[in-house]
Amino acid sequence: MDINARIYVAGHRGLVGSALVRRLEAEGANNLILRTHQELELTNQNEVEQFFHAEKPEYVFLAAAQVGGIHANSTYPARFIHDNLAIQTNVIHNAWKQGTKKLLFLGSSCIYPRDCPQPIKEEYLMTGPLEPTNESYAIAKIAGLKMCQAYRKQYGFETICAMPTNLYGPGDNFDPENSHVVPGLIRRFHEAKLENAPEVVIWGSGEPLRELLHVDDLADALLLLMRHYDDEAIVNVGTGREVSISRLASLIAETTDYQGNMHFDTSRPDGTQRKLLDTPWLSARNWTAKIDLPFGLAETYRSFCNDFRLPAGRGTCE
């Protein structure tokens, strides 16, 4: 990939997209194509068709998606499957139609069966039932990667598919209802600290294990893939390290300086018990994640303090 080529980052204001922009700009990219949600509605077929016809990007990072945690996936399954199918279909088809040289599709580790052997190998895809709490999102992502493979097979369109583990970092979604586990806990512990709340309630037992990847490490891996990978097989991206939800909550309590107690609500779902990814392609190239969890959590909390607008009267980060 020529760093000076016309590179379109779909979803550039999101967690992954913003990290990609930071990394591309650090590499010297000076011809990035960026559109906000207000400027380009990716679920609208006509708008996407007109955009690709006018801009003709040479490389596309498809990082735009409708995402959320257990609560959001369980509450809005129709939105998750509809919007993600529409975004993927519009972007992949029009990128091929307008002669894009290469497209990277970003999937998710939730595409794998709920009860996979660990660590999860790429070939385990579609070998068992999905986790029910994020089934709609997972099915949409599976459809996206299969669409990429189909366009490669039928049209020779150079598409590649990366499947990252659980992500966190600056630019995350800290919404109390629709966020993933790290930003959701950061906000919850921060507000509990401000309110001197005696305890923080956490969904589930605290026992499930999560592999957490800082989004800047993901951006590094995605550039490596865009430059050096060209095959239909999906590629896992992870750290090889796990942390329990209870340990993660303790780390976030320390990060936010919350002094109260934690209560695990076992009436709420745990979600998948483990999702540790096997990463043979990256390991063979000696790629490893560089940002450790305590440092990454502290950076994410600073991002929350600096960028997130708390409701009036809720105080500020200290």
pLDDT, tens digit, for every residue of 138-157?
999 999 999 999 999 999 99
pLDDT value of residue 309: 53
Which residues are annotated binding-site positions for substrate? 188, 203, 210, 270
pLDDT of residue 274: 87
pLDDT of residue 308: 58
159-164 and 235-237 beta bridge pairing: parallel
The confidence score (pLDDT) of residue 205 equals 96
pLDDT for the residue 311: 39
Say if 271 falls within a structural domain: no
Asked if the model's pLDDT at residue 310 lies above 50, the reply is no
Residue 154 lies in a domain: yes
- For residue 240, give the nearest of 291, 286, 276 by alpha carbon: 276
Residue 203 lies in a domain: no
Predicted structure pTM score: 0.93
Range of the domain at 82: 7-168+213-237
* Residue 262 is assigned to a structural domain of this protein: no
pLDDT, mean over the chain: 93
The pLDDT score that the predictor gives to residue 10 is 98
Asked whether residue 16 is assigned to any structural domain, the reply reads yes
The catalytic residue among 8, 59, 112, 137 is 137
- Residue 30: inside a domain, yes or no? yes
**Closest C-alpha to 239, from 287, 186, 295, 181:** 287
Is the separation of the CB atoms in 110 and 134 below 8 Å? yes
Which residues define the annotated binding site? 11-17, 106-109, 141, 164-167, 180, 188, 203, 210, 270
Residue numbering of the annotated binding site for NADP(+): 11-17, 106-109, 141, 164-167, 180
CA 261 to chain centre: 30
Among 248, 241, 247, residue whose Cα is nearest residue 288: 241
Q: Evaluate whether residue 231 is within a structural domain.
A: yes
pLDDT of residue 67: 86
pLDDT of residue 178: 74
As a dihedral over the C-alpha atoms of residue 85, residue 43, residue 227, residue 229, rounded to 10 degrees, the angle is 10
Is residue 303 exposed (0-12), middle (13-18) or buried (19+ Cβ within 10 Å)?
Answer: middle
Q: Is the pLDDT of residue 316 over 70?
A: no
**Identity of residue 311:** P
Which of 63-67, 112-116, 119-123 is modeled with the greatest confidence?
119-123
Q: Is residue 19 part of a domain?
A: yes
Q: How many distinct structural domains can be found in the chain?
A: 1
Catalytic residue status for 155: no
Distances, alpha carbon 139 to alpha carbons 91, 120, 143, 232, in Å: 18, 18, 6, 18
Share of the chain above pLDDT 90, in %: 85
Q: How confident is the model at residue 314 (pLDDT cuts 50, 70, 90)?
A: very low
Amino acid occupying residue 217? D
CATH code for position 151: 3.40.50.720
Q: What's the token pair of residue 293?
A: 């969890």
Give the confidence band of 312 by pLDDT, cuts at 50, 70, 90.
very low
pLDDT at position 180: 84
Task: Express each pLDDT in 228-278 by its tens digit.
Answer: 999 999 999 999 999 999 999 999 999 999 999 999 999 998 877 888 999
Q: Which tens digit of pLDDT belongs to each residue from 45-97?
A: 999 999 999 999 999 999 999 987 777 788 889 999 999 999 999 999 999 99
